[in-house]
Amino acid sequence: MDWRALYLSDQGRISRKTFWTAQLVLLGLVLMILLPILILWSDEALSTPPALGFRIFELVLAALLTWPSHAILAKRLQDRNNSPLWSKVYWGMWLVYYAISVFAPMETRTGITPAGWIVGVPLLLLTFVLFVETGFRKGQAHPNDYGDPPVE
C-alpha cells in the first residue's frame, strides 16, 4: 500500500506492523510541529489551562490530522472485521474534546472540570479498547467484509 492510500483512504485492511509504522510517522510529524512551539511558548502552552491561542492551535492541528488518523484506524479495524464507524466516533470525540476546550478548558489550576470528566472519561475508555483491539490483536487471516488480508 502506498503512503497516499495509507493516510487518505479508509478502504481496505492493514496489518499491525503497518498500523504501528503509520502511527509512529504521524507521531513524529506531531512532535516536529509541537516541540518548537512548546520550546518557544512553553509558558502559554504548559500553563493550566493552556492559553487560548495554544488551545486554538491544538484544535486546528487535531482537525488537520483527523482524516489521516481515521484512515489508519479504520483500515486496522476493518482487518479485525470491525466497523470503521468506530474510528469516526473516536476521532469525532477528540474533535469535540478540543473544540470544547477552546471555549471551556477541560482543566483548571484546581483540577479537571465537569466538562473534562464528561468528555474525557468515555474518550479514555474508548482509547484503551481501540488500543488493545487494533494495536495488539491479530487481523483475520481470511477475506472478510472489507477485503482480502493485507500482504506484508
24 by Cβ neighbours in 10 Å (0-12 / 13-18 / 19+) ranks as exposed
Residues 6+ apart with CB under 8 A from 60: none
Residue (of 113, 127, 119) closest to 99 by Cα position: 119
Q: Give the number of other CB atoms < 10 A from CB of residue 110.
A: 7
**Proportion of the chain in helix, strand, coil states, percent, rounded to 5:** 70, 5, 25
Residue 137 dihedral angles phi and psi, to the nearest 5°: -90, 140
Q: What is the pairing mode between strands 111-112 and 107-108? A: antiparallel
Q: Hey, what's the cell of 103?
A: 471555549
Mind listing the pLDDT tens digit for each residue in 107-148? 888 888 888 899 899 999 999 999 999 999 999 999 999 999
The pLDDT of 10-30, averaged and rounded, is: 96
**pLDDT score, position 23:** 96
Question: Rounded CA gap, 30 and 66, in Å?
Answer: 12
For the chain, where are the E strands, in sequence order? Answer: 107-108, 111-112
Mind listing the pLDDT tens digit for each residue in 36-62? 888 877 777 677 777 788 888 889 999
